Structure 1
Amino acid sequence: MLVKEFSGKSEKDAISKALEELNLTEEQVRIEVVEKGKRNLFGIGEETPTVIRVYYEEISENLGEFKSIVSDILKYMGITAEVTAKEESGSRIYINVSTEDSGVLIGKKGSTLEALQFLVSLIASKHFGEDEERHVILDIDGYRERREETLKHIARQAAQQAKKTRRAVVLEPMSPYERRIIHLELQNDKDVETKSDGEPPYRRVKVFSKNGGYNNRRYNNNNNRNRNSYKPYYRNK
Structure 2
Amino acid sequence: MYKTYTEKTVNDAVAKGLAELKVTEDDIKIEVLDSGSSGFLGFGKRPAEVKLTVINPELKTYETIEALINRVEKDVKTKVPSQSTEEAIEETESRERVSQKAEDLEENSHEEVEEKDDLSHSEKNHPIEQAAKDTEAYISSIVLDMGIEHTTKMTVKKNNIDINFDAKLAAKIIGKRGQTLNALQVLAQNYFNSIYRSYGQVIIDVGDYRAKRKETLEILALNMADKVRRTEERVKLEPMPNFERKIMHNALSREPGIETYSEGKEPNRYLVITKK
- How far has the Cα of 1:189 moved from its partner? 2.8
How far apart, CA to CA, are the structure 2 residues paired with 1:125 and 1:62?
9
- The reply to whether residue 166 of structure 1 matches residue 232 of structure 2 is yes
How far apart, CA to CA, are the structure 1 residues paired with 2:131 and 2:182?
21
- How far has the Cα of 1:91 moved from its partner? 2.6
- The reply to whether residue 203 of structure 1 matches residue 269 of structure 2 is yes
How far apart, CA to CA, are the structure 2 residues paired with 1:168 and 1:102?
36
How far apart, CA to CA, are the structure 1 residues paired with 2:133 and 2:266?
32
How far apart, CA to CA, are the structure 2 residues paired with 1:135 and 1:60?
13
How far apart, CA to CA, are the structure 1 residues paired with 2:184 and 2:262?
23
- The reply to whether residue 144 of structure 1 matches residue 210 of structure 2 is yes
Does the 8 A contact of 2:164 with 2:205 survive in 1? Answer: yes
TM-score, normalised by the number of residues in structure 1: 0.56
Identity of aligned residues (%): 32
Unmatched runs of 5 consecutive residues or more in structure 2:
1-127
Pairs within 5 Å for 1:1-237 = 60-87=129-156, 89-129=157-197, 132-210=198-276
Does the 8 A contact of 2:131 with 2:192 survive in 1? Answer: no
- How far has the Cα of 1:120 moved from its partner? 0.6
Return closer, same or farther for 1:200/1:63 CA change in 2, 3 Å cut-off: closer
Amino acid at match of 2:248: I
How far apart, CA to CA, are the structure 2 residues paired with 1:200 and 1:61?
30
Give the structure 2 partner of residue 214 of structure 1.
Answer: none
TM-score, normalised by the number of residues in structure 2: 0.49
- How far has the Cα of 1:64 moved from its partner? 3.0
How far apart, CA to CA, are the structure 1 residues paired with 2:189 and 2:142?
13
Q: 1:62-106, CA deviations, whole angstroms, 9 ceiling, x for partnerless residues?
A: 44333322323233333211101223x533222110101112212
Higher strand share: 1
Q: List structure 1 segments (4+ residues) > 6 angstroms apart after TM superposition.
A: none
Does the 8 A contact of 1:70 with 1:83 survive in 2? Answer: no
Q: 1:164-211, CA deviations, whole angstroms, 9 ceiling, x for partnerless residues?
A: 33321211221222112111222233422111112334321001111x
How far apart, CA to CA, are the structure 1 residues paired with 2:267 and 2:215?
22
Tell which structure's C-alpha radius of gyration is larger: 1
- How far has the Cα of 1:113 moved from its partner? 1.4
How far apart, CA to CA, are the structure 2 residues paired with 1:90 and 1:198?
33
- How far has the Cα of 1:119 moved from its partner? 0.7
The 3-state SS of whatever aligns with 1:86 is strand
Does the 8 A contact of 1:173 with 1:202 survive in 2? Answer: yes
Taking CA–CA contacts closer than 8 Å with sequence separation of 6 or more, which of the two structures ends up with the larger relative contact order?
Answer: 2
How far apart, CA to CA, are the structure 1 residues paired with 2:192 and 2:221?
29
Give the structure 2 partner of residue 217 of structure 1.
Answer: none
- How far has the Cα of 1:135 moved from its partner? 0.8
Higher helix share: 2
Give the structure 2 partner of residue 232 of structure 1.
Answer: none
Return closer, same or farther for 1:60/1:199 CA change in 2, 3 Å cut-off: closer
Q: 1:17-76, CA deviations, whole angstroms, 9 ceiling, x for partnerless residues?
A: xxxxxxxxxxxxxxxxxxxxxxxxxxxxxxxxxxxxxxxxxx944443333223232333
Return closer, same or farther for 1:197/1:78 CA change in 2, 3 Å cut-off: same
Return closer, same or farther for 1:128/1:170 CA change in 2, 3 Å cut-off: same
Q: How large is the Cα RMSD of the aligned pairs?
A: 2.2
How far apart, CA to CA, are the structure 2 residues paired with 1:103 and 1:181?
22
